[in-house]
Each structure stands twice: as structure tokens, then as C-alpha cells.
Amino acid sequence: MIQYLAYAKVNIFLKITGKRGDYHTITSRFMRVNTLYDTLWFEPKSTPEFEIRGNFDCEISSNTIYKAYKNLLAATNSNKLSHWMQNNAVCVKKQIPSFAGLGGGSSDAATYLHMCNEQLELGLSTEALAVIGANVGADVPFFVYGYESANVSGIGEIVEHYDEKPLEFEIITPQIKISTPAVYNYYREHLYTPINPEEAARLQLMPSIDILTTIKPKEANDLFPAALKSYPELCEKEGWFFSGSGSSFFRLKEPTDG
């Protein structure tokens, strides 16, 4: 049994740059969290229906892994893929909290795409998998590329590797299920002030450690104030940054003695 790790991410900064139809365009620094991940593998099954085994609280049709399967099948028209999924379930050991701004669902989808591509020898390039992933969700391409740190822009489809040493984080996730569309809608209706291109370019060049030590959490993430207004039960935490649309907070891990 081959196991694959689907890592979480945090947004070092997240700024809105404009609108594209119903979507917002962004510039953001995504950094992989190497200590927090889901584990995925395939397991034989006896019924032909698509099956995901794991602790999920959504219908299978809404699951990002199922969406990844449908998009991969549409892109490849692979009989090998459809036959494989009739005979194997996708198993997921969940560790990344849902509705938390940590990219768990997107990471699972990206990892599933890689699993199928490798084990079924579909022959797709990373770039092709990223295009398929973008149809599943805005954050999926970042996870497809597998970078530890990257500047992400557009609506998530533009992923540019950022060369820096990965950081270690402490993460806390309040028991609040935050709706990303609700936070974006509040931002659009009440707080819409897109960043100018010069400031966006400056942030894209800054190392993550400098951003976290010189910029205030509310200034680093445009969605943080919108999330606080949308969810009054969400409380600011002094010195903690906000990831994505939340609800997770993170900060640099304190070095330990010895």
C-alpha cells in the first residue's frame, strides 16, 4: 500500500488585487506546513460506486476528491481510471481541520490527482495536473506543484515558486466553520479596497520571515477584518496571523532550548 501525504498551508499574506467576474483576484504567499497533513491511499472494494473512506462531513458529490476524479476523467477519458475507481476506494486519514483556511480539501484533491497519475501511469505533466486542479478549486494548483513556498496570484491559477527556507508554525483552529464565499461577499460589499500593483510587487519580493515580523496580522490578510465582521464569535488573537478566510490562526514557532 502506497501512502501519500497531503500537506496543509498557511497564507503569509493575502491581498485582494481586483475582480474577475464573480471572483476576486489575489496576491498571496502560500507556505506549506510540513508538520500537518492528511494521509491518502487506495484500498480494494467490492462495490462499483465511487467511495471515499474517511471522516468527512459533506456529501460525496461536494467532496474535492470526487470533483478531482470527475475533472481528471473528463480531461483524460481514461478507461483505466474509471475501472480503477470501480475497484478501489480512496482512503483519507484526516488531520487538517475543515473550514479552517489551511487548504485541506484542496491538498487532498491535488494529492489524489498525483496518486492517479503515478499509479495508473496516465502520463500527465505537473502543469496539466495543475490546469485540471484549477477546475476543482482555487488553491489546488499550489498543492499540485508541491512547492514549500510560492507566490500565488490571479484566482489561484498562477503559482510562482519562492525560494526560501520553510518556517515552523504553531497553529490553532477555533471550532468555527467559516464559509469562504460569505467572507469574500462581506469584503466585496463593505471593505473592498484592492492593493495597488506596486505594493503587491513589494510583498511578493519579501521573505516570509520579514512579513511576519514587520506587518500586523490585520494588514497582512485582507479577509481577516471581513471574517471578524461575518463571524462575531471569532476573536482576534494578539500576535497571531489569520490564514486564508479562516478560521485558523498561526504564528512562528518559538525555538526550544536544548
For the annotated catalytic residues, the residue numbers are: 9, 139
Q: Parallel, antiparallel, or unpaired: how do β-strands 52-53 and 88-93 relate? A: parallel
Alpha carbon distance 72, 74 (integer Å): 5
Alpha carbon distance 56, 91 (integer Å): 11
Angle at alpha carbon of residue 19, lines to 173 and 184, rounded to 5°: 25
DSSP secondary structure letter of residue 166:
P
Burial of 78 (0-12, 13-18, 19+ CB in 10 A): middle
Helix or strand (DSSP H, E) at 108: helix 104-119
Do the beta carbons of residue 110 and residue 121 sit within 8 Å?
Answer: no
Alpha carbon distance 43, 45 (integer Å): 7
CA distances from 148 to 11, 29, 128, 142 (A): 12, 10, 20, 9
- Which grid coordinates are listed for 43? 484500498
Task: Annotate 28-40 with b (16+ C-beta within 10 A) or e (fewer).
Answer: bbbbbbeebbbeb
